Amino acid sequence: MELTGALIAYLHYMAMISIAVALLLEYIFCTPGVTGSRIRLLARLDLLYMGAAVLALGSGVARVVWFGKGAAFYLHNPVFYIKLALFVAVGLISIPPTLHYLRWLNGIRSGAANVAADYQVLRVRRHILSELILFAFIPLAATFMARGIGIQPTGP
């Protein structure tokens, strides 16, 4: 059980690192004048982000329920809910870029020349930057949570 818990924690950490890498690469490669090959790359990076997010969520649930410090430790700590809210916020902010990538891919498939207008690209970049900024606070919340910061002492 100890080895399994360690492997689940490792998966969780690797998923979080993968999310950060995918978002950073999306931000780097999503620039005005983006072309068809770059749009396909952005869509693949977005798919990596989504897969890593699912893995992070699944491994996180497993840690809370079976392998972590016990559900009570997490569920009674307000910092856990801040961490969860940040994760959900990043996920929600990721929806518009995903929809743009899908529209741009459809435009490429239909043979359109300029599928990604610069103003759309800049809007997507702002969304990705917002995701990166919020995502940067998740490890901080995790660090606080792991040290019991936020848990109210009980008893005398």
Three-state secondary structure call for residue 129: helix
How remote is the C-alpha of 13 from its chain's centroid?
12
Task: Measure the CA–CA gap between 39 and 118, rounded to whole angstroms.
Answer: 13
By residue count, the chain amounts to: 156
pLDDT tens for each residue of the chain, 156 residues long: 699 999 999 999 999 999 999 999 999 999 999 999 999 999 999 999 999 999 999 999 999 999 888 888 899 899 999 999 999 999 999 999 999 999 999 999 998 877 899 999 999 999 999 999 999 999 999 999 988 888 876 656
The pLDDT, as a whole number, for residue 155 is: 54
Which position has the token pair 């936020």? Answer: 150
Q: What Cα–Cα distance (Å) separates residue 23 from each residue in 39, 98, 115?
A: 14, 12, 22
The pLDDT, as a whole number, for residue 154 is: 65
The one-letter code for the residue type at 145 is: M
| DSSP character string of 29-57 | H--TT--HHHHHHHHHHHHHHHHHHHHHH
Task: Measure the CA–CA gap between 29 and 45, rounded to whole angstroms.
Answer: 10
Delimit the domains of the chain by residue range: 2-146
The pLDDT, as a whole number, for residue 113 is: 73
The pLDDT, as a whole number, for residue 152 is: 74
Task: Measure the CA–CA gap between 18 and 48, rounded to whole angstroms.
Answer: 8
pTM over 0.85: yes
